Structure formats: structure tokens, C-alpha cells
Structure 1
Amino acid sequence: MRILYLIHQFFPEYPTGTERFTLDLATAMQRAGHCVRVLAWSAGKFPFSREEHGVLLRDYSYQGVAVTAFRPKQERPHFDFHMENDAGLSRLAQDMLPDRYDFIHVSHLMRTAPFVLSAIENRISYLVTLTDYYALCYHATLRNLRHELCAGPKAGKACAKDCRLPWMPDGYLTRRISSAGMILSKAARITTPSRYLAQTVRGEFPDLEIEVIRYGISMGGSQRQRKRYSKKSPITFAYLGALIPAKGVHVLIKAFRKLRDPKCRLKIYGIAELRDYFLDLLGLAHGDCRIAFCGPYESRPQLYRILDSVDATCVPSIWPDNYPLVIMEAQARSVPVIGSRIGAIPEAIEDGVNGFLCKPDDPQALYQVMNRIVDNPQLLSAVKRAIPAIRTVEEEAVEFESLYYDMLKKSPIPAKEAVL
């Protein structure tokens, strides 16, 4: 099969969850003998090599997977928000898509809608995997401008009431939801890794059929951490992910600073995407030498080395997070996770059995869980034993491959010889 993976951003510029899901799946499909390419927007941190239809392009390989990075030379204002066509990208899509691919797997709709709309026009089948709420919410987090959790767009009416920005013309947000609904309704298949996200999207678009396919992890020879704990074991907590408000890193720092044990540590790994927020985090941590900002990580071997050096990971999200991949990565290494009781996180963690849950956006609640562990590190030994075997990316790929073949059988037109 000839598969195009379409995503809003990719390695090496962006090494977060949706990007890792796409890389792992593309790699697995390539190993299975399929021809794959990733098409991704780029921030331009690396030089582009050519231009077509007013779109800057760069071809490269990442861990053996072929990638084409794109960025409009004259990018429209607020490009990240739009779910509509773009003249240059539409012309590029008309050149790139017809006859080259059997189908498209859309890993994210941000910045990629013009390619999906071109696929619809050219009757090219596509599958959409929803990894967050972008189809419903331009924030992708279901939190409004007052930082309150949102019950859904209500055909764009709730968006217009609570999330309209000054530059948005009348009807913009209702048109955006309508466009998202049309794109999803024309997809050959829709998948998501969590029941929670499937239910949330169906709350807005009740006629959609959404299949839950859990993430798989590329184990890469990973072995479970076998550390055992005594009453006096020092504890190192870690955060691994994007340093953005929705992930609740500020909540974690506030909770950790309540701990009185001088031997405990907090290591924070991730990309500082928002300068002002990162400065706020530095301010919250100032004066506590137990807290270390360790920068980003990129590869799974590097991630597993980090996990081997810590005792528990924290996922303190304050938005309804959709089955964070880092939970499975930690569990694959037998590292217990402390997560917020919100979104799909409880689908991966059974409180007090294979991990810990606490109230979201509540430093005191998170502190109480962390303090229990610091006071009784032996709790971790019991939790580690209860962490089940983790699903592999090969198992995940088998499910997707089955969907792909089913899509080919129902494809409206056969693809011709591909040029990848």
C-alpha cells in the first residue's frame, strides 16, 4: 500500500505525543512492506529547499521515514485556527495527491484541512485519527477564554459566546464547526485512542462512527524497571511533556513545593513552547534547588533512560487529556504514574492499583498523593507489580493495517502507480 500520513507538525521540530504516534505507525507500516510518506507543516527551523505554488517545501528522512515539510510562503493570519481551503496549499495538493497514494491517514486536522478538502474533491479515501479536540475547539483543549472547561461547541454557538476573538468575523466559529463536521463525515474511518474522546466528539456529531484503537508503544528492547523501595528510599518525581498551561505543570510545581522532605526531587522535561508561561514556571520553582528543568527529549531510548532515573511520573493535566502517550511509555518501563482524574486519563490508571489519580487543577490534592509516596515509598513497589503488560505498536499496527485494507476494498477509485 501507498500511505500518506498527514500531520500538523513533526520531528525533529516537534517531538510530542501525536508526532510519536505517527512516527511509530509509519515505521511499523514501512517494516511491513508498505510505502509511506509523512506530510507535515514546518515552523521553518530548518531551511526549505524548493517552492511550489507559493508553498515552501523540504524533503528529508527521519529515522528512515520519508518526510515532506511544507509552509505557505505568505502564511495567512491565524493559520492554525482555520478549517477551510488555502489557495496555495490547494494547488499543491492537486499536484501531490491524485494517483500517488492509495489513501491518506490524517493524524491531525490543524494546518492540514486544504489537503483533506483536496482529497474529498479527488475522491481519495482518508482515515482520521483524533488525538485531541481540535475538530471541536480551536484551542484543542475544550477550555474557553476564561480557562473553564467547555461542554462542547453546540454547533459553534458556545464557541461564539465564550471563545470569539476580536479578529473573527460573524459566523466564523459556526462555519468552522460545520466544516469540521463535513470533513469527519466524509472520512472512510475515524479512530481515536480513548472512549472519552469518542464520546465527546459524538456529543457534537452523533451520527459519526468512531472506533477506539489504543496506542501501542515501540518497545525498542525496553525492560521493566526493577527498583524496589524501603521506608527511607528518596523519591524522584518527573514531568515529561509540553510546558503549556493545559498540562498543569504549574500545579505540579506548587504541589511539589509543599513537600518537606529535602531528599525528594522533581525533574521537568519538555519543550518551553510559551515563553511567558515558562518564565512563570521558573518563578514558581525559584529558590527550590530540588526542582530541575532538564530540557526536551526526542528519542525513545533517551526517554527510557530518563524513566530509569525516576521513581514516579506526573501527568497533572487540567484539560480533559486524551490518553497521554507518556502514561503508556512510563508503564512500559514499570514506572508508576500520578495522573489527574479528568478526560481519558482514568482509562489508563486505576487509582491505588497500577497508579494514582487526583483531582485536577488542585495543588493540595496532588501534594497529598505525592506526600503519601514520599512518606511510604514501599507503595511504589506494590503499584509497579500491578502495572500490566503494555500493548505494542506492532499490535496497534495490525489493527490499522486491517482498516487500511478495508478502505482499499471500498475505495471509490483505484490509485495508479505511486511516486513517493
Structure 2
Amino acid sequence: MRILALVHNHPDLQPGGTEVVARGLFRAMRDGGTGVDGLFLAAVTEHLREERPGTLLQAAPGGRPDEALLWLPHFDRFFLSQPDTHGLAMTLGPLVTDLRPDIVHLHHPLQFGVETMALLRRLMPRGARLVVTLHDYFALCAREGQLLRTDGRLCAGPSPDACRRCLPERSAADHALRRLSLRDAFADADALIAPSIFLRDRFVAAGWDASRITVLPNAVAGGSPPAPHRPLGEGAGAQSGRRDRFAFLGHINRFKGPLVALAASARLSAAGVAHALSLHGGTAYQPDAFLAEFRAALAAAPAARHHGTYDAAELPRRIAAADWVVVPSIWYENAPLVVLEAFRHRRPVICGDAGGMAELVRDGVDGLHAPIGDPEGWAEVMARAASEPGLWDRLVAGIRPPPGLDDMAAAHLDFYRRLLRRSSSRARAPAAAVA
């Protein structure tokens, strides 16, 4: 089977969740002895890679011959549109002709644009199938796919009035055109994948066809042994049995909720609750206003410390230094990888009480739910986690090992094969009828 996988950005340049999952899935299929050939193509902009005049395709980091970068500097984020369709066609045309993929898997329309689906459909060999994964809510929400209103409240889904309130600078016609054009563009795909039931249901509630969306969960790389439950001799509660060390892991931005975690930590310190909050992650590309808020919140939380950026190799050690992994995101999330990483290393998770994160974390079984965006509610849950005897051990015992990338690759390959068999059956049907 030949697979062309496309995603915005390369994880070695920007390790976002979608990029990490897309590349990990491709490598598991490509390197797992499954007979898969293909190419992993990542779109990049001037923010991540310097432009080389006259060159759209570039070598990807690491020098792998089956990974490449595609220079796409122009993009309309409201309509998810790529205006340089001529340059895209001139590049993708020869590439698709040479590769002759059986499956083209688009992991996100960002940078590529929704027009690329129709373009790929024209370029693909007869019988090839186009698959698109809905990694987030971008196709539903023009505010960066957050489904989050300007007043901070969660949004159940798009509607003409709600969308105009969030983006009043856009006309009603723009909002209507966006909804209709995106739904029509995704109709060019043979199948859609959702990593969570919650995400699938949001799209169905917005009028998308449920029969076209298959839920295939995300996974994390395996291989390293589980972290010990607690490094001996570390932390104020090592001898007392308290489990009072909390870790935030991920990019530091407003939507991931570090301000909620810091405000909760400040409340715990004011109430005399012993604990430690470690924040791991960088602050790249964040607006000055948010960075000022973050610094002020950090200064107001004496038990908190920001440890800065980290790479994948450091993740096990940083998780091992904590008792709890916190996911205080103020939006629904979809299927955050940090939850799966925490479970792989035997750490219970405290997360918001809605969305894909709440779907992954079973309240009272392998983690705890806290009210989204509510620092006081978060402080109550964290105080319970730090002080309730036996709670941590009970939740650790309830953790199920998350799926690995090999499992994810096997599920996707089975899904691809079923799509190709359906295509083959349809192609034979007219001849059979004549006979």
C-alpha cells in the first residue's frame, strides 16, 4: 500500500499534537513491517523555515527520504483557504503522479487549504481513496477552532447569531459562506476520521453526516518502561505519603489553561495547603498581553515554577517527578496526547469536566474532573488530590494502558483496506450487472 500523508507543520519544527500524531502514525505504518510505502508531506511557513526562492519542496529535518516539507506561505485562516492553488497544483501534480498513492490522508486543511481536497481528488489514481482526520473543531469554529466564546464560555456549536457575536467584523454572508463551503469541501473526502466520540458528535450536531465519520483513537509511542510511582526521597510528602506534586505539560498559551492552574495554586497556598505546581512548556508565538498575565500569575503563586521547554526524551523524567498531571484547558480539547502520556507513565490526570479530555479521563477511576475555567473549583479538586488518603493509589490502579502507535497503525490500515475494498467492489459492479 502506498500512502501520502499531509499535515500542517513538521513535529521536528513545531511539536503540536496533530503533527506528532500524524508523523507517528506514518512512521509506525512505514517502519512497522506492514508493507507500506509512501511520503509524509508537511506544510511550512516563514515562521518555521526560511524560504528558498523558486523552491516549494524542501527536505524535512532528519534527512529521511520519505519525509518532505512544502513551502506554503499564504493562507486564509477564516475560510481555511490556500490562494496559491497554481503553485500547489504544480508541486502536488508530479508528486502524486510519481507516488501513485492508494491512500491520501490529509490530517488538517491548515496551510494546505480546503481546495486541496478537490485538487487531490483530480490528481489521485483511479480507485485511490481520500481520508481526512478531523483533529479539532477548525471546520466548525472560525475562532481558531476553539468553540470558545469571546466571554470565555464554551460554545455548543456554530450558529449564525453566535458566530456573528464572536466575529462581528465578518458579515453574515461570510459566516454562511464559510459553513457551506467547508461542508461542501469535505464532501470530496471518501471518509472522515475523528479521534474522539465527543468531537464526532459536535460535527454531527452541526449537520455533518454521522455515517461518514469513523472514530479511531489517538495513541502515543511506546517502548520505554513505566515511570516509578514516585522517585524516592523527592518532595515534601515523600515520607508522609502525601501526593501533592502537580505537573502541567504542554505549550503555555491561554487556551491550555495555565492561568487557571496558577490561580488555583495561589488559592491553595493562601489556604495553607502544601503542594507544588510545575509548568513545563514554552511560550513561543504568544501575545504580549498573555505573557504579562502569565508572569503576574506565576509571581502570585509561590508554590509554582515554570521549567521551560522540553523535548520528547525529557517527558518521562518530568512526568516521574510529579504525582498528578493536570490538563486545565479552558476549551473542550479533542484527544490530548498529554493524557495518554500520563497514563502510559502511571500518573492519574486532573482535567476539565467536558470535551475530549473528559472522555479520556474517567472521573474517580483513573483521574479527577474539575470545572473548566474555574480556579476555585480547581483548587478544591487539587486540595482533595493532595490530601485524601488512598485516593492516588486507587486511581493509579484504575489506569488502563493507552494504545500504542502500532495499535493505531493497525486500526488505520484496516480502515484503509476496507475503503479500498469498497472502491474495488463499486468498480466491478457495472461489469457484473452486464454479465
Counterpart of 1:306 (choices 318, 339, 356) is 318
- Structure 2 residue aligned with 1:418: none
How far apart are residue 409 of structure 1 and its match? 3.3
Q: Within 5 A, what are the aligned runs for 1:8-47?
A: 8-31=8-31, 32-44=34-46, 45-47=48-50
**Aligned partner of residue 303 in structure 1, secondary structure:** helix
- Structure 1 residue aligned with 2:431: none
For the pair 1:212 / 2:211, whether they are aligned, the reply is no
Query: 2:248 corresponds to which letter in structure 1?
Result: Y
- Structure 1 residue aligned with 2:234: none
Query: 1:103 corresponds to which letter in structure 2?
Result: I
For the pair 1:226 / 2:229, whether they are aligned, the reply is yes
Query: 1:285 corresponds to which letter in structure 2?
Result: L
- Structure 1 residue aligned with 2:277: 266
For the pair 1:243 / 2:252, whether they are aligned, the reply is yes
**Aligned partner of residue 267 in structure 1, secondary structure:** strand
- Structure 2 residue aligned with 1:2: 2
Q: Which runs of 5+ in 1 are unaligned?
A: 415-420
Q: Within 5 A, what are the aligned runs for 1:66-77?
A: 66-72=66-72, 75=74
How far apart are residue 267 of structure 1 and its match? 1.2
**Aligned partner of residue 329 in structure 1, secondary structure:** helix
CA contact (8 A) 2:132 2:189 kept: yes
Range with greater deviation from structure 2 (176-185 or 360-369): 176-185
Q: Distance in 1 between matches of 2:111 and 2:156?
A: 25
For the pair 1:356 / 2:368, whether they are aligned, the reply is yes
- Structure 1 residue aligned with 2:432: none
Over 3 Å counting, the alpha-carbon distance change for 1:326 and 1:105 in structure 2 is same
Q: Distance in 2 between matches of 1:15 and 1:145?
A: 27
Range with greater deviation from structure 2 (287-296 or 378-387): 287-296
Query: 2:216 corresponds to which letter in structure 1?
Result: I
For the pair 1:80 / 2:84, whether they are aligned, the reply is no
CA contact (8 A) 1:59 1:66 kept: no
Query: 2:280 corresponds to which letter in structure 1?
Result: Y
Over 3 Å counting, the alpha-carbon distance change for 1:20 and 1:65 in structure 2 is farther
Identity %: 25
**Aligned partner of residue 7 in structure 1, secondary structure:** strand
Over 3 Å counting, the alpha-carbon distance change for 1:160 and 1:251 in structure 2 is closer
- Structure 2 residue aligned with 1:92: 91
CA contact (8 A) 1:230 1:378 kept: no
Over 3 Å counting, the alpha-carbon distance change for 1:355 and 1:256 in structure 2 is same
CA contact (8 A) 1:3 1:36 kept: yes
- Structure 1 residue aligned with 2:378: 366
Q: Within 5 A, what are the aligned runs for 1:121-160?
A: 121-123=122-124, 125-138=129-142, 139-154=144-159, 157-158=160-161, 160=163
How far apart are residue 397 of structure 1 and its match? 1.0
How far apart are residue 34 of structure 1 and its match? 1.5
Q: Distance in 2 between matches of 1:71 and 1:341?
A: 39
CA contact (8 A) 1:236 1:264 kept: yes
Report the TM-score when normalising by structure 1: 0.88
The structure carrying a bigger helix percent of its residues is 2
Q: Deviations over 1:291-346 (max 9, x none)?
A: 221222232x3211211111111111111111211101101100110000011222
How far apart are residue 49 of structure 1 and its match? 4.5
Q: Within 5 A, what are the aligned runs for 1:324-363?
A: 324-363=336-375
Structure of higher CA gyration radius: 2
Q: Distance in 2 between matches of 1:222 and 1:65?
A: 30
Over 3 Å counting, the alpha-carbon distance change for 1:64 and 1:337 in structure 2 is farther
Q: Distance in 2 between matches of 1:134 and 1:336?
A: 29
Q: Distance in 1 between matches of 2:65 and 2:347?
A: 30
Query: 1:7 corresponds to which letter in structure 2?
Result: V
Q: Deviations over 1:211-249 (max 9, x none)?
A: 111122211223243339664536221111222222211
**Aligned partner of residue 142 in structure 1, secondary structure:** coil
For the pair 1:396 / 2:401, whether they are aligned, the reply is no
Q: Distance in 1 between matches of 2:223 and 2:112?
A: 31
Counterpart of 1:319 (choices 324, 328, 331) is 331
Query: 2:93 corresponds to which letter in structure 1?
Result: Q
CA contact (8 A) 1:321 1:345 kept: yes
Query: 1:81 corresponds to which letter in structure 2?
Result: F
Q: Distance in 2 between matches of 1:65 and 1:328?
A: 30
**Aligned partner of residue 81 in structure 1, secondary structure:** coil
Over 3 Å counting, the alpha-carbon distance change for 1:326 and 1:64 in structure 2 is farther
CA contact (8 A) 1:218 1:392 kept: yes
CA contact (8 A) 1:47 1:58 kept: no
**Aligned partner of residue 398 in structure 1, secondary structure:** helix
Query: 2:153 corresponds to which letter in structure 1?
Result: E
* Equivalent residues, number: 404
**Aligned partner of residue 259 in structure 1, secondary structure:** helix
Over 3 Å counting, the alpha-carbon distance change for 1:107 and 1:158 in structure 2 is farther
- Structure 1 residue aligned with 2:308: 295
CA contact (8 A) 2:230 2:321 kept: no
Range with greater deviation from structure 2 (104-113 or 333-342): 104-113
Over 3 Å counting, the alpha-carbon distance change for 1:230 and 1:373 in structure 2 is farther
How far apart are residue 287 of structure 1 and its match? 4.8
For the pair 1:281 / 2:281, whether they are aligned, the reply is no
CA contact (8 A) 2:260 2:375 kept: yes
Report the TM-score when normalising by structure 2: 0.85
